[in-house]
Structure 1
Amino acid sequence: MGSYTDRETGRQLHAAAFQLDEYLGDGTSWTTSLRLASPYRAEQTVLFAEQDADHRLFELDAAADWPEVPWIWLDLEHHRGETGAIVRPGSPRLVRDLLAAVEGTDGSLPLTSDLLDITAGHVGELCGWLFDANRRVPVVVFTPDPQATDEQHRFATRLARDVAGVAVVVRLPDAAAAAAFSRHVGPHLQVYGGAMRTYLPGLTPQELFPRRHRVLSAATMRALRSRSANAVRDQVLSLSTRRTSPPSYPLVRRVLARGSAEQSAARRRPQVPPAMPQPTLFPDPAEQTLFPTPTESAPSLDRVPDTEPPMPALAEGVESAEANRVLRASLTLGGIDPSAIGLATVPADQRLLEVERRALQDLLIRSVKAAQAAESAATTGTVLKLAEATTEIELLYAEIDDLTQQLGEEQRSQAELEYVRTERDVATIDLSDSERDNERLRARARWLESELTRHQVHLAGVEPPDDFAPPEIPASIVEVLDFASARLPNLEIGATSDAAAGLDVHPRAEHWAFKIWKALAALNSYAEARKSGQWSNSFLAWCLEPPSGGKAVPATWAAMSESETTNTMPKLREARTFTVPRAVIPAGRLYMPAHVKIQQGGTPCPRIHFHDDTGGATGQVYVGYVGDHLPTANFK
């Protein structure tokens, strides 16, 4: 815990951090970290006017972003042991309990773990949330699905619970609400037909890139079935891991670091012994002493009054005048001036010698005590200086820890940036390939138009008939598979919707859907040419030199075999073995090493595995798998 006061403005910032580590029997562990900030403005700033800021360690930057309202930031980490099972993330119960206890908001958007049903009369309020510039969490909107109303409600309710605190789930319960929503957001941002759409922060009514707000079709959710909640939850939670912390987070972290350092220094600060009182070498008048005071009727050292009672008999070995002279000399050598004590002038007067001896001894004792008090004061001063140095060291260590944490966060940001750069490079390669293909096709189209013109057939600028127009490709990979099954008669697509639906939750799903359609169309065109006898070579040769009118993909996409390791390892072969008709092979299952690389690298890395039976009994191409990269010896 820690607190900080801005002396100039009187603002106060209170911060606290909590961490809970849970270790389970299977070797896994969970770490829940919570940080909270609570700003406060003091009414009297004059109390803080005197401040020696130049000599304070760990002084905070008053110009840093100051939180305007209290906030809570919670991180949940799962550390899987060697034998532990993979655990999907979800909203901790602590978040749901906090949202149930207090009214949490993100801008104007209420944060809740409940599903929000928005009727037609409240669509305007929903749009206000969506277009709020201060919103930092996604909003997931479900449209009514007449085919699976109850299933969708259960799915949306479970999703709202799982993403509490990092997203808000909204359902339009009927067609009237869905129609009102479409009118408010416009055709570029609408969602309909039982689909779900995730609206990211920064949404504007004139959205320049509406497709970044992903749509998940009802068909994909039905294909995922019970896994749909996990897939959508993973998509939403992956967005939360990339969310930046509040602007005041660095300030709060430094307050916590300083507070922790001060507490640690206080625990380690040594106990300062009480300082010994500094005695005087000569007593005060009221102090009992052996040395005669001026108010006493002190006897003169050269005569003893007749009225003085006789001194008791001295024990054997009583101090002599010589012993007093030795004691007086010792005091002088020790730096103590004994001249204030009178010297007995009558050597035979034992009483005067005794008075002198006791006075000298009293002076000696007081001198020893004064030396001890001086040593104690020096020790106390040393201990205090050591305590101050310890505090300064603790604060410096806290400063180092805070900077180390900042460095770690910077390194993680660099790693994420590197991943984004890799994704960008892959996308750039894809774009370059597409542009080259596009330019090649445009050049061919211009040549064909010129040839036709040379033969008095003028088709430049004439739109092709509907039969030759490219079809409207679905944006969902699952829908592309259904689309291909209905339109590509030379393909047989197996039960791979589950694997394909796992790709649909990724931001690049629409791009992959288009490339998967191109690959399936190329396989269909190849199979048709093989059936008609126009082609007798492999699919790879087809992609290298496609005949006139034939659909193909770049040859770099096609791979007709796997590595020797994959071919020989039973587990890897089994992962690539899929169901085919018994007319193809009596066993009904076949190893399919041939595949199309939809993406050349990155994660996910979609693949299409197929078997070419165009030269066999059926003359078909069988697609056994469409989904993420299957495991290899180096990739699991």
Structure 2
Amino acid sequence: MALGYRTILTANPTEDNLNDIIKAFSSWITRKKGYAELPSAGTLTHATGATLTAITYANDNGSISAKRWTIVEDWAPPKWYENPETSRTGITNVTLALAEGRLWLWVDVEPPTLLWTNTNGREVEEVQMSGRPTFVQDILNTVNMNDGAAEPVSEFQVIASQSHVEELARILVDSERIGAVFVTAAPDGTDANEWAEKITRLAGQIQGMGIGYALTPEARAIFNRQYGGAGHWVSPGAMRTYLPGVDLSDRQDAYKHRLLHASTLRESSEARIRRILRNAQLKRLNALRIPDVLREVDYEFLRKERLQPFAALHEPLPAEQPAEDEAAVWRALAELAESEVTKALNENKALARRASVAEHLLAEVQAEADEQYALLTATREEAATLARQVDYLRRALTDLGAEGATAAWSFVDQEAPKEYPETFAELLDRVKELSGVRFTGDIEDALELDEHTVLGQAAVMKTWDALLTFNTYSRARDDATFDQSLSHFVTHQKDHSHRVQIGKIVWSESETVKSNDKFRAQRTLPVDTKVDATGKALMVAHLKLSNLTGVAPRLYFLDTYSDVGYVTVGYLGSHMDNTLTN
């Protein structure tokens, strides 16, 4: 199951702290969940059929002792959800451990997974949204908990001075920190305290998963002056998500720490902002390597769970027990063993599938990196040659006199592109200005790419370059300076003088993808009825915008100029399903 919430915090290993944590959790169990008590061992069954199980562990030398409570219960689905086939089981694990001179609190919430088909025919799989368990907030209000060098609090804290900035930097570079640090800066003309309150509300229940700070204009200037040169700047009204172990002196490291642009925070709904922040952290925490001491505890608890069905094997049977009863016991034990083996095989199969996808993606990334490096090298050599040529021609023209000098320095590139959009949201607004290209896809699919700013600015730039190329092609067709197809326009650039600035296009899909009904449905995208009377057409030509993250965004398009006078972009969003993703 996938995570809906995770927090891993520590406190001083005092008896008071341990008792306060258990008291807060016990109160939640009895008051919110309706159990009579918090068990110290064994399983309690609720009237609804939900169960609460407590198990303990201590290693041989006494350096580690731990207790885990597991709640298994059915969750109510969202009101809009209509798929009765999916499991409604949710699991909450709460682990307390005394180890390495610290008291550890580890809370995992694993909600049911929602599965539905969107309007484009793409199967969407998403973890049902879960809030932060209220007992976590009660614990934070009572016990002095820590995440590495940071102290998690509910509200965004205002950073106002040089000393505050230095403390923030100490927290950012801490490699023992597990949760994210959200750093935002008040927009110009906005009071920092008011902004901190607003962002606290926008961020929602992130307590335990992340810690928030809001920079005043003065602190922002200090922070950006000290660390902005290495790319770690925070602009007014924006928010940056800093992962553990930031290298504030490394420009390449800055790309790891996601940026929410001011326009996204300003123009998005509260629900969308919460979803952006929460989903990004859940993906990271789900892949996180748990601290070694907790990995040992987790393994021992898993071992106990898996071996529990076989406990009866080690208990002597009463002498008077009939033989047929003994056979029934062995039969039941064999069935349980078969169930456990099946479970392990299924888990191994899922892991093998994920490994296969990862290996394929790695190969794609390596191939793309090699291609980009070769292209970059060739481009640099060409640029150096052209620069020398321009310098020679300018000197030669200048030697011809005043008229030649004027000609040498008066060139203006009429086709120079406008400034690149900063976000996909801005890109969708500006594409409306391009008469030679039309976006007909699902806007939400494209806007979701702004949630993955680890993609970097390159993905937005590559998309915009493609749209400008499509527009240039249509204009060339309009003024009869080019009369062939878009593919010829892109692949035979030496046949014309128009600007073509676009990444490598994949002009088709595999036969397996094209012959699969589900995959074809996803790639059958909206077009004008002049192109197809049904209002949809199959699009297989696509541009890879990035392979560097799991989202692997793609742009699908169709040359529809002959029918409607423009190129149709039917999809911009995350990688569609194919034989590797299913």
User: Per the shorter chain, which TM-score range?
Assistant: 0.5 to 0.7
Sort the Cα spacing of 1:624 and 1:427 in 2 relative to 1 into closer, same or farther, 3 A: same
CA contact (8 A) 1:2 1:259 kept: no
Q: CA deviation at 1:529?
A: 1.8
Report the counterpart of residue 427 of structure 1 in structure 2: 365
Which of 488, 501, 520 in structure 1 is aligned with 2:447? 501
Q: CA deviation at 1:216?
A: 1.7
Q: Which segment is superposed worse, 207-216 or 150-159?
A: 150-159
1:216 and 2:271 equivalent?
no
User: 2:156 pairs with 116, 137, 153, which one?
Assistant: 116
1:2 matched to 2:57? The reply is: yes
**In angstroms, what is the RMSD of aligned CA positions?**
5.0
- Whether contact under 8 Å (2:195, 2:214) holds in the other structure is no
Pair 1:19-2:62 in alignment: no
Question: 1:15, 1:255 within 8 Å by CA — same for their partners in 2?
Answer: no
2:56 corresponds to 1:107: no
User: Distance between the aligned counterparts of 1:81 and 1:214, measured in 2?
Assistant: 26
8 A contact 1:604–1:629 mirrored in 2: yes
Find the residue that maps to 1:228 and give its secondary structure. Answer: helix
| 1:552 to partner: Cα distance | 4.3
Give how far 1:124 is off. Answer: 3.1
522, 526, 551: which one aligns with 1:604: 551
Aligned to 2:281: 236
2:60 and 2:517 map into 1 onto residues whose CA distance is 68
Distance across 1 between alignment mates of 2:573 and 2:57: 50
Name the SS for the 2:240 alignment partner: strand
Paired residues of 2:441 and 2:526 also in contact (CA < 8 A):
no
Give the match for residue 92 of structure 2.
32
Identify which of 210, 220, 228 aligns with 1:167.
210
2:292 aligned to which of 221, 234, 247:
247
Q: Aligned pairs, how many?
A: 469
Query: In structure 1, what is the Cα distance between the partners aligned to 2:448 and 2:157?
Result: 27
Deviations 1:313-358 (A, max 9, x none): xxxxxxxxxxxxxxxxxxxxxxxxxxxxxxxxxxxxxxxxxxxxxx
Structure 1 CA distance, aligned partners of 2:476 and 2:361? 36
Are 1:556 and 2:502 matched, yes or no? no
* 2:486 aligned residue: 539
Question: SS of the residue aligned with 2:484?
Answer: coil
* 1:105 Cα offset (Å): 0.9
Aligned to 2:173: 131
Q: Does the aligned pair in 1 maintain the 2:539–2:557 contact within 8 Å? A: yes
User: Which consecutive residues of structure 1, in runs of 5 or more, have no partner in the other structure?
Assistant: 40-66, 274-400
Conserved? CA contact 2:531–2:563, under 8 Å: no
| 1:313-324 correspondence to structure 2 within 5 Å | none
The Cα shift of 1:541 comes to 1.4
1:235 Cα deviation after fit: 1.0
Matched position secondary structure for 1:604: coil
- Quickly say closer, same or farther: Cα 1:82–1:444, change in 2 above 3 A: closer
Equivalent position to 2:458, from 503, 507, 511? 511
Q: Secondary structure of 1:34's match?
A: strand
Q: CA deviation at 1:206?
A: 1.4
d(CA) in 1 for partners of 2:396, 2:131? 64
Q: Do structure 1's residue 75 and structure 2's residue 108 form an aligned pair? A: yes
Q: Which residue of 2 aligns with 1:296?
A: none
Q: Deviations over 1:367-401 (max 9, x none)?
A: xxxxxxxxxxxxxxxxxxxxxxxxxxxxxxxxxx9
- Deviations for 1:473-507, whole angstroms, at most 9, x for unmatched residues? 45533344456556x56445568653222112222
What secondary structure, in the 3-state scheme, does the structure 1 residue paired with 2:102 have?
A: coil
Q: 1:98 aligns with which of 139, 142, 160?
A: 139
In structure 2, do the counterparts of structure 1 residues 99 and 568 end up closer, same or farther at CA, with 3 Å as the change threshold?
A: closer
Task: Provide closer, same or farther for how the CA distance between residues 427 and 518 of structure 1 changes in structure 2, counting only shifts above 3 A.
Answer: farther
Determine the C-alpha separation between the residues in 1 that align with 2:576 and 2:267. 20
Distance verdict in 2 for CA 1:457–1:241, change over 3 Å: same
Q: Which of the residues 449, 472, 476 maps onto 1:529? A: 476
Letter in structure 2 aligned against 1:607: R
**Structure 1 CA distance for aligned equivalents of residues 387 and 167 of structure 2:** 55
Structure 1 residues 107, 529: CA separation in 2 closer, same or farther (over 3 Å shift)?
same
In structure 1, the residue matched to 2:375 is 437
How many angstroms does 1:234 deviate by?
0.8
**Residue 434 (structure 1) shift:** 2.5
User: What residue identity is the alignment partner of 1:213?
Assistant: H
Residues 185 and 236, structure 2, Cα contact 8 Å, conserved in 1: yes
Which ranges of structure 2 fall in alignment gaps of 5 or more residues? 1-55, 77-83, 118-124, 320-339, 398-407
Between Structure 1 and Structure 2, which shows a larger proportion of strand residues?
2
Q: How does 1:413-492 map to 2 (within 5 A)?
A: 419-442=357-380, 467=413, 473-474=420-421, 476-482=423-429, 490-492=436-438
Distance in 1 (alpha carbons) for counterparts of 2:234 and 2:72: 42
- Counterpart secondary structure, 1:103: coil
Report if aligned partners of 1:108, 1:132 keep a CA contact under 8 Å in 2: yes
The one-letter code of the counterpart of 2:499 is G
> CA-to-partner distance for each residue in 1:502-550, whole Å, 9 max, x for gaps?
1122222433223212211221221222122121111111121123443
Q: In the aligned structure 2, how far is the partner of 1:567 from the partner of 1:268?
A: 54
Q: Distance in 2 between the 1:437 and 1:159 partners?
A: 41
Over 3 Å counting, the alpha-carbon distance change for 1:224 and 1:509 in structure 2 is farther
Distance 1:527 1:444, change over 3 A: farther
Q: Percent identity?
A: 22
Deviation at 1:96, TM superposition (A): 3.4
Structure number with bigger Rg: 1
With over 3 angstroms needed to count, the CA separation of the structure-2 counterparts of 1:130 and 1:524, relative to structure 1, is same
Q: Distance in 2 between matches of 1:423 and 1:152?
A: 40
Contact 1:115 1:171 in 2 (8 A): no
Q: Provide the C-alpha distance between the structure 1 equivalents of 2:103 and 2:243, rounded to a whole number of angstroms.
A: 24
The CA distance in 1 between the partners of 2:354 and 2:372, in whole Å, is 27
Where 1:427 maps in the other structure, the secondary structure is helix
Contact 1:572/1:632 (CA < 8 Å) preserved in 2? no
Distance 1:464 1:69 in 2: 71
Aligned partners of 1:560 and 1:593 also within 8 Å: no
Displacement of 1:194 in angstroms is 1.4
Range moving further from structure 2, 427-436 or 489-498: 489-498
1:57-456 equivalences in 2 (<5 Å): 67-80=100-113, 86-93=126-133, 94-112=135-153, 114-121=154-161, 122-145=164-187, 154=198, 156-161=200-205, 163-172=206-215, 174-187=216-229, 188-207=231-250, 208-222=252-266, 224-225=268-269, 226-253=271-298, 256=301, 269=315, 419-442=357-380
> TM-score normalised to the size of structure 2?
0.65
Secondary structure at the residue paired with 1:107? coil
Compared with structure 1, are the counterparts of its residues 224 and 633 closer, same or farther at alpha carbon in structure 2 (3 Å cutoff)? farther
CA contact (8 A) 1:576 1:592 kept: yes
Tell me, yes or no, if the aligned pair for 1:137 and 1:200 is still in contact at 8 Å.
Answer: yes
Q: Structure 2: which amino acid aligns with 1:32?
A: T
Aligned residues of 2:255 and 2:456 also touching (Cα < 8 A): no
Matched-pair contact (CA < 8 Å) for 2:182–2:240? yes
